[in-house]
């Protein structure tokens, strides 16, 4: 990075002239943003070329992380922080009369993901670059990211997210690295000597063009690559011959249908909808990615047999599981290897992470659809299935039930999770409890058959984005106390724990939190018109809206609190502001109703003079990485209240903790490990355990009606959904009401209500002891180091990928 202020200024001004033909006075804010990005881009480019050169010269093993989603967030500020130039550039720009904050607002927030899974991929990319692991991303350059959410008349409305409309400053189109991906058609087989040769005919070819985004490390020279593929037509120039033959319309039709492949991100989280276009997307980026990896590998090595020594391919859930047959195809049909050699290489190269046990997220494709779109893939999957079933038969002769439950093709469906398990050398869950559930329940048969494949890798988050960048004042206090070593070695945060009872540090931490709360309060005022008090408890529930995440449990607690305050105006509670944010999948009715309920309840409570500012409810629209960067630093309470066993890990829980919020949560996902790390006294745990949840499911022992009729609070709140209490159409929330009673409350909201309410009372009591609360807060921050994605990717790298960090020397 350029460290000299004057040099920076000269290059910045020069960029404005060469890029836009303008001086500082005439240039728009966007021009200035682009000129600044260019300064950084150019500095990064040098290190980028050098990183690639050193990777290829040393032949060090490369990791490729295949994911349908990369929820990156903004890049400019992160580059300034990672490059250690933020203050220098801020001052230099100020001297030119430019406010850096204003320029940062110009950047679009690339929302190429739905939630935790996509954000995890982005955190991993950042950590790999910071730690020096040669790790690259492979995904899709969606023209439209996740929809923009607006709340209109209490309803979620979805608007297209045209994030590329002003151009994206951080991407490099690499047209010379484009590859072809083939769909449909037929496969002809013939024998040439000993070998079978498969030729693909009458297919539809699509051009995959890579756009590379640099991923720079922290204060090092490493720049890894995120390669996002764009679908384009092969015949992009005007084809006069076809026009003359009268085929112009067909040609145009082909062109527009090709573009569709990389047009939109499917907006469902933890849900699978078997759309043909989704399968096309999966094969499109997986085939393109693997082809480019092999092309690169072959520039240096002649034998494919060494591939697992040089390359690791990791698949982020089953969405890229088609990598198993595609790598087989490339090795057999293109590189002329035998089945056995290809299989050995494939399974040694590929590893797989499972992210969910929700049955509705399991990917299975109808055989007919799979076969007609991807005929060669089907042949290979069929053969894999035959071989797997044969070895299962050898191990469990006659046990048809077991074999059917493990077959890759069964009931006329292709089962992607089974394909991923058999086709990889490692299968991991994302938190200890989740991995245990995989081993003992969901994948128990596979675990018995391949015990060594299964392992746990508890998720993590990058503490550089989520603390150093998002909460610079808190980061400053920590650095003053323990030095800056924690930035590259997050376990060192533990040393901050020594200051948990230090009055001076407590006061500083309290002030920073208060300040962050004031900044958020200002934002809320601007966005919603509602005034909130920064001295109230900020109780924050931000994540995708989903029944299993139980936003409804939080809502019921608020309604009950409101009822009690109305009954007893002198009830001594600490004023609270309940803040929600999150998107609902457009077709997910109950989730949209949940948003509507929060919004309607907010309008009722926020206007009610009787409760004199004791309670406020806020729903913030369009939750995104950028909004998260405002919310986590301002939270006092972190809501992590999913039904035990359902949330594989969660990562928002870690971001809150790192910023000093205290968790109220169930023993689910990574909450279990957060609880272990901070101890009973620094977290509020309540509710059913996953074992109790499984017992209920297995023995049908839960009766929602019984809870309803025996707890007057629950009865009252439920009736208020449908008796005209809410200022909205009376029958509006009947389906929600029914899901909890007539449908027997699948996620145990009513069952956990009492325990949750009690935990909230405890929390309120503890908050009143000001010093105790700050002590808990500091303790949480100090224990957050193990939840850094630096730790997570070092574990992946040691146990699964077998890669080592590389120090890139300056060019
Ligand atoms: O618990 C989270 C987890 O922290 C889990 O629900 C989420 O992944 C996070 C990162 O490990 C997740 N998302 C999806 N599956 N699990 C998913 C499934 C289908 C489409 C999009 C996302």
DSSP per residue, 109-149: ---BS-SHHHHHHHHHHHHHHHHT--EEEEEE--SBEEEEE
Nearest CA to ligand 1 atom 17: 270
pLDDT for 239 equals 58
Buried b (16+ CB within 10 A) or exposed e, 295-326: ebbeeeeeebeebbebbbbbbbbbbbbbbbbb
Q: For residues 481 and 754, what is the distance between their CA atoms, to the nearest angstrom?
A: 41
Pocket of ligand 1 (CB under 6 A): 114, 116-117, 120, 268-271, 317, 355-356, 361, 430, 459, 647-651, 669
Q: Are residues 417 and 539 in the same domain?
A: no
Q: Which residues are catalytic?
A: 355, 543-544, 549, 651, 655
Q: Are residues 428 and 481 in the same domain?
A: no
Does residue 809 belong to any structural domain of this protein? Answer: no
Which ligand 1 atom lies nearest to the CA of residue 648? 1
pLDDT for 256 equals 74
pLDDT for 242 equals 66
Q: Are residues 33 and 67 in the same domain?
A: no
Query: How many domains in the chain?
Result: 3
Does residue 288 belong to any structural domain of this protein? Answer: yes
Q: How far is the CA of 355 from the centre of ligand 1 (A)?
A: 5
Instruction: Give the C-alpha distances (Å, rounded to integers) separating 190 from 331, 343, 609, 626.
Output: 18, 21, 82, 56
CA atoms within 13 A on the CB side of 70: 25
pLDDT for 15 equals 98
Q: For residues 544 and 591, what is the distance between their CA atoms, to the nearest angstrom?
A: 9
Q: Are residues 49 and 159 in the same domain?
A: no
Q: For residues 673 and 655, what is the distance between their CA atoms, to the nearest angstrom?
A: 14
CA atoms within 13 A on the CB side of 289: 35
Q: Do strands 537-542 and 223-232 pair parallel, antiparallel, or not at all (unpaired)?
A: unpaired
Which ligand 1 atom lies nearest to the CA of residue 69? 21
Model-level pTM? 0.98
Which ligand 1 atom lies nearest to the CA of residue 647? 1
Q: Are residues 452 and 493 in the same domain?
A: no
Instruction: Give the C-alpha distances (Å, rounded to integers) separating 403 from 268, 343, 391, 452.
Output: 31, 21, 10, 20
Question: Which residues, listed in sequence order, are joined to residue 188 by a DSSP beta bridge?
Answer: 199
Does residue 380 belong to any structural domain of this protein? Answer: yes
Using the structure block, give the residue that is written with the tokens 């991807």.
374
CA 478 to centroid of chain Cα atoms = 27
Identify which of 111, 145, 355, 544 to mutate to test ligand 1's pocket (most ligand atoms within 8 A of the CB): 355
Q: How far is the CA of 66 from the centre of ligand 1 (A)?
A: 15
**Cα dihedral: 51, 56, 62, 67 (round 10):** 70
Q: How far is the CA of 361 from the centre of ligand 1 (A)?
A: 9
Query: For the domain that residue 223 is a member of, what is the CATH number?
Result: 3.40.50.2000
Query: 392, 449 in Cβ contact below 8 A?
Result: yes
Identify which of 121, 356, 653 to mutate to test ligand 1's pocket (most ligand atoms within 8 A of the CB): 356
Q: How far is the CA of 719 from the centre of ligand 1 (A)?
A: 34
Q: How far is the CA of 70 from the centre of ligand 1 (A)?
A: 12
Q: Are residues 658 and 755 in the same domain?
A: yes
Does residue 807 belong to any structural domain of this protein? Answer: no
Q: Are residues 93 and 239 in the same domain?
A: no
- Return the SS3 of 477: helix
Buried b (16+ CB within 10 A) or exposed e, 789-801: bbbbbbbbbeebb
CA 461 to centroid of chain Cα atoms = 10
Angle at which helices 551-567 and 589-607 pack, to 10 degrees?
20
Nearest CA to ligand 1 atom 22: 269
Q: Do strands 204-216 and 62-66 pair parallel, antiparallel, or not at all (unpaired)?
A: unpaired
Identify which of 112, 116, 548 to mutate to test ligand 1's pocket (most ligand atoms within 8 A of the CB): 116
Q: How far is the CA of 631 from the centre of ligand 1 (A)?
A: 21
Nearest alpha carbon to residue 549 among 442, 629, 656, 668: 668
Nearest CA to ligand 1 atom 14: 270
Q: Are residues 506 and 588 in the same domain?
A: yes
H-assigned helices in 466-502: 472-482
Q: For residues 500 and 580, what is the distance between their CA atoms, to the nearest angstrom?
A: 29
| Counts of helices then strands in the chain (DSSP H, E) | 33, 23
Which ligand 1 atom lies nearest to the CA of residue 651? 4
CA 518 to centroid of chain Cα atoms = 28
Binned average pLDDT, 10 residues per bin, the chain of 811 residues: 94 98 97 98 96 97 98 98 95 98 97 98 98 98 98 98 96 98 98 94 97 97 98 73 70 79 97 96 99 98 97 98 99 98 99 98 98 98 98 98 98 98 99 98 98 99 98 98 98 98 98 98 98 98 98 98 96 97 98 98 97 95 98 99 98 99 99 99 98 94 95 98 97 98 97 98 97 98 99 98 96 77
Q: Are residues 763 and 622 in the same domain?
A: yes
Nearest CA to ligand 1 atom 4: 650
Q: Do strands 223-232 and 204-216 pair parallel, antiparallel, or not at all (unpaired)?
A: antiparallel
Which ligand 1 atom lies nearest to the CA of residue 430? 11
Identify which of 69, 267, 269 to mutate to test ligand 1's pocket (most ligand atoms within 8 A of the CB): 269
Which ligand 1 atom lies nearest to the CA of residue 669? 1
Q: For residues 772 and 154, what is the distance between their CA atoms, to the nearest angstrom?
A: 39
Q: How far is the CA of 277 from the centre of ligand 1 (A)?
A: 21
Using the structure block, give the residue that is written with the tokens 């790390």.
677
Residue 435 domain boundaries: 59-73+109-459+795-801
To 5 degrees, how large is the angle CA 561–CA 563–CA 565? 70
Q: Are residues 556 and 600 in the same domain?
A: yes
Q: Do strands 364-366 and 409-410 pair parallel, antiparallel, or not at all (unpaired)?
A: unpaired
Q: How far is the CA of 471 from the centre of ligand 1 (A)?
A: 26
Q: Are residues 307 and 389 in the same domain?
A: yes
Does residue 786 belong to any structural domain of this protein? Answer: no
Q: Are residues 96 and 242 in the same domain?
A: no
Using the structure block, give the residue that is written with the tokens 């200022």.
727
Does residue 337 belong to any structural domain of this protein? Answer: yes
Does residue 561 belong to any structural domain of this protein? Answer: yes
Does residue 464 belong to any structural domain of this protein? Answer: no
Query: 257, 251 in Cβ contact below 8 A?
Result: no
Q: How far is the CA of 473 from the centre of ligand 1 (A)?
A: 31
Which ligand 1 atom lies nearest to the CA of residue 317? 15
Query: 506, 474 in Cβ contact below 8 A?
Result: no
pLDDT for 240 equals 63
């Amino acid at each position: 990075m350029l460290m000299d202020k004057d040099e920076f200024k000269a290059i910045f001004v020069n960029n404005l002239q060469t890029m836009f033909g303008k001086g500082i006075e005439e240039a728009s804010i966007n021009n200035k943003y682009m000129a600044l990005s260019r300064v950084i881009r150019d500095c990064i480019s040098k290190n980028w070329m050098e990183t690639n050169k050193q990777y290829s010269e040393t032949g060090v093993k490369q990791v490729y992380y295949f994911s349908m989603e990369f929820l990156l967030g903004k890049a400019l500020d992160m580059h300034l922080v990672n490059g250690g130039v933020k203050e220098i550039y801020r001052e230099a720009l100020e001297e030119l009369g430019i406010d850096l904050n204003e320029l940062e607002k110009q950047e679009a927030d690339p929302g190429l993901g739905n939630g935790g899974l996509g954000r995890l991929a982005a955190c991993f990319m950042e950590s790999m670059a910071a730690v020096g692991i040669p790790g690259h991303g492979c995904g899709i350059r969606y023209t439209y990211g996740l929809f923009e959410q607006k709340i209109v008349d209490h309803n979620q409305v979805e608007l297209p997210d045209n994030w590329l409309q002003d151009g994206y400053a951080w991407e490099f189109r690499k047209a010379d690295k484009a590859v072809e991906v083939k769909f449909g058609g037929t496969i002809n087989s013939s024998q040439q000597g000993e070998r079978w040769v498969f030729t693909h005919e009458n297919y539809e070819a699509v051009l995959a063009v890579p756009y590379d985004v640099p991923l720079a490390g922290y204060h090092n020279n490493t720049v890894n690559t995120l390669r996002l593929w764009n679908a384009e037509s092969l015949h992009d120039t005007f084809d006069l011959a076809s026009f003359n033959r009268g085929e112009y319309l067909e040609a145009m039709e082909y062109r527009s249908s090709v573009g569709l492949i990389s047009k939109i991100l499917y907006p469902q989280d933890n849900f699978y909808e078997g759309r043909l276009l989704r399968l096309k997307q999966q094969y499109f980026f997986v085939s393109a990615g693997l082809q480019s990896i092999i092309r690169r590998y072959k520039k240096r090595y002649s034998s494919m047999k060494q591939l697992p020594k040089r390359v690791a391919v990791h698949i982020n859930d089953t969405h890229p599981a088609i990598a198993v047959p595609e790598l087989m195809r490339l090795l057999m049909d293109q590189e002329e290897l035998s089945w056995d050699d290809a299989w050995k290489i494939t399974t040694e190269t590929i590893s797989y992470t499972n992210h969910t046990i929700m049955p509705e997220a399991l990917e299975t494709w109808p055989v007919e659809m799979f076969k007609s779109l991807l005929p060669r893939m089907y042949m290979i999957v069929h053969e894999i299935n035959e071989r797997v079933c044969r070895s299962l038969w050898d191990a469990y002769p006659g046990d048809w039930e077991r074999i059917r439950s493990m077959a890759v093709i069964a009931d006329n469906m292709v089962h992607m999770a089974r394909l991923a398990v058999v086709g990889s050398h490692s299968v991991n869950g994302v938190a200890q409890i989740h991995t245990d559930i995989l081993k003992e329940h969901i994948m128990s048969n596979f675990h018995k058959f391949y015990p060594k494949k299964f392992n746990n890798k508890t998720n993590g988050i990058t503490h550089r984005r989520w603390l150093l960048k998002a909460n610079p004042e808190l980061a400053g206090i920590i650095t003053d106390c323990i030095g800056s070593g924690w930035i590259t070695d997050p376990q060192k945060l533990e040393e901050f724990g020594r200051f948990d009872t230090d009055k001076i540090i407590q006061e500083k931490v309290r002030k920073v939190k208060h300040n962050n709360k004031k900044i958020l309060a200002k934002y809320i005022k601007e966005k919603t018109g509602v005034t909130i008090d920064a001295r109230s408890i900020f109780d924050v529930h931000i994540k995708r809206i989903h029944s299993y995440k139980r936003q409804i449990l939080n809502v019921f607690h608020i309604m009950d609190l409101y009822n009690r305050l109305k009954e007893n105006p002198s009830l001594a509670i600490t004023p609270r502001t309940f803040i929600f944010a999150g998107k609902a999948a457009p077709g997910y009715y109950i989730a949209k109703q949940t948003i509507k309920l929060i919004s309607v309840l907010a309008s009722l409570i926020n206007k009610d003079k009787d409760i004199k500012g004791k309670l406020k409810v806020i729903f913030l629209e369009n939750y995104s990485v950028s909004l998260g960067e405002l919310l986590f630093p301002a939270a006092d309470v972190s809501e992590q209240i999913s039904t035990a066993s359902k949330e594989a890990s969660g990562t928002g829980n870690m971001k809150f903790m790192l910023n000093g919020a205290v968790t109220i949560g169930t023993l689910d996902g990574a909450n279990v490990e957060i609880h272990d790390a901070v101890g009973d006294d620094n977290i509020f745990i309540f509710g059913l355990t996953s074992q109790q949840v499984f017992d209920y499911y297995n023995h049908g022992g839960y009766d929602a009606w019984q809870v309803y009729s025996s707890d007057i609070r629950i009865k009252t709140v439920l009736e208020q959904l449908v008796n005209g209490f809410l200022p909205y159409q009376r029958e509006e929330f009947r389906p929600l009401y029914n899901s909890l009673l007539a449908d027997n409350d699948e996620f145990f909201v009513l069952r956990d209500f009492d325990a949750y309410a009690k935990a909230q009372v405890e929390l309120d009591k503890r908050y009143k002891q000001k010093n105790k609360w700050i002590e808990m807060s500091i303790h949480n921050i100090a224990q957050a180091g193990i939840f850094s994605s630096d730790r997570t990717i070092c574990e992946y790298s040691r146990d699964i990928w077998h890669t080592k960090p590389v120090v890139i020397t300056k060019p």
